[in-house]
Structure formats: structure tokens, C-alpha cells
Amino acid sequence: MKEVIMEMERYADTNNVPIIDVESIKFIMKYIKLNNVKKVLEIGTAIGYSAILMANASLDVEITTIERDEKRYREAVKNIKKCSLDKRIEVVYNDALEVNLAGYKYDLIFIDAAKGSYIKFFEKFCHYLNPGGVIITDNLKFHGLVNNKASIKTKSLRGIVDRIERYIEFLNNNQDFITKFYDIGDGLSVSIRKNNEK
């Protein structure tokens, strides 16, 4: 297991796969343990790195993870098999915005895919949260570029940073959730649904 994880870290490095920062995944694993999380939905599998580590946080965690890139999807399935986690991690090969999850509910939803679609992901998937559920989002600092706009040279990068800023504003203004921002790794947000039930 440890060996497979190190191999994945090397693969990600060589192939420019943006896997999660160590401190961030540690934070999420701790959250899973402390809050007795059982069902996880992940948007953006890449090669299965974060999914495998989340499954390692606790023996009764089950994960559904969505990836739209075929090569990464195949790589993820292979890695998950190697770790014998294929009973607890299901990889869905599709665009997350196309996936139909009717009937499923999750305790934790981890958004870690195309940054331009964060608001869309949140609006779609918040309906699949269990009471007390949480949505965690990665890369809110976008490698330090959010908060350092003057240093951005290309229009497309500026576009992504604008979208992340809009997402942060969206979270701050969302009346149904309370969001805390954490300055760890590449920046994480933790959005907990307010208890509106009578």
C-alpha cells in the first residue's frame, strides 16, 4: 500500500497530475475520522490518490469518485485495484455535470476538479448531502495566485483566478451553509449545511 502511494506520487510528479497536498489530505482524513464520515463523493479522481487515502482514513468509508479523463480514469482503476480497495471505491468515468446520482446521499463531498465549474458542482451536488453533511473544496489559493493577481501573466490564468474568487464570494453569501477557509496546502474550504430542519 505505502509503496503504491509513493509510486503514485512519482507518477503524478512526472506526468503533471495535480494531486492534493499532503497537509490537505491529512486534514480531510482527520475530518473523516472525527466526524464518522461513511459515504464520500469526490469530483475529480485523477489517478485515485486522494480517494485511496480517504478510504484509508477509516475501514467503513465508501467512496464514489468521478473522472472525465479516460487515461486518468484507467490509471485510477488500476491503482485502486493494487490497493485492494475496489470494493470500497467506485470510479465513475464521466463528466461530473452529466452524472445522475438520484437516490444517493453522502456525508462528505470533495470538490477537486475544473476550477471554472466550482459553483456549478456545488449547486448540483449539495442536494446529495446527508443532514450534517459537508462540502470540502480544494485549491482555493490556486498556487498562491488568488490574492496575488498582479503577478498573473496570461488571460486564461486570470480567468481561472476570477472564477475562484467568484466561488469564494458565492460560499460567503450562501445562506444555507457556513463556510470556513483554511490556509493549508493549496487552500481548502469546509462548508457545513446549516440545520434548517424543524
Q: Does the footprint of ligand SAH cover residue 186 (CB under 6 A)?
A: no
Angle 40-42-46 (CA atoms, 0-180°, nearest 5)? 140
Q: What CA–CA distance (Å, rounded) separates 166 from 156?
A: 15
C-beta closer to ligand SAH: residue 97 or 126: 97
Long-range CB pairs of 175-180 (<8 Å, 24+ gap) are 176/126, 177/126, 177/135
Q: Which residues of 77-112 are buried (b: 16+ CB within 10 A; e: fewer)?
A: bebbebbebeebbebbbeebeebebeeeebbbbbbb
Q: What CA–CA distance (Å, rounded) separates 144 from 150?
A: 12
C-alpha cell at 59: 475501514
Picked from ligand SAH, Mg ion, none, the partner binding residue 142 (CB below 5 to 8 A depending on kind) is none
C-beta closer to ligand SAH: residue 22 or 178: 22
φ/ψ of 43, rounded to 5, equals: -105, 110
C-beta closer to ligand SAH: residue 50 or 191: 50
Q: Does the footprint of ligand SAH cover residue 22 (CB under 6 A)?
A: no
Q: Where in 27-46 is the site for ligand SAH (CB under 6 A)?
A: 44, 46
Q: Where in 61-90 is the site for Mg ion (CB under 5 A)?
A: none
C-beta closer to ligand SAH: residue 4 or 20: 20
| Shortest separation between residue 11's beta carbon and ligand SAH, angstroms | 11
Q: Does the footprint of ligand SAH cover residue 192 (CB under 6 A)?
A: no
C-beta closer to ligand SAH: residue 78 or 194: 78
Q: Is the CB of residue 120 less than 8 Å from the CB of residue 98?
A: no
Judging by DSSP bridges, how do beta strands 106-111 and 129-137 pair with one another?
parallel
Contact segment (CB under 6 A) with ligand SAH among 95-103, 124-132, 141-149, 162-170 equals 95-103
Q: Is the CB of residue 129 less than 8 Å from the CB of residue 106?
A: yes
Residue selected from 42, 67, 107, 112 as contacting Mg ion according to rule CB under 5 A:
112
| Shortest separation between residue 153's beta carbon and ligand SAH, angstroms | 23
**For binding to ligand SAH (CB under 6 A), which residues are involved?**
18-20, 44, 46, 49-50, 66-69, 72, 95-97, 112-114, 117
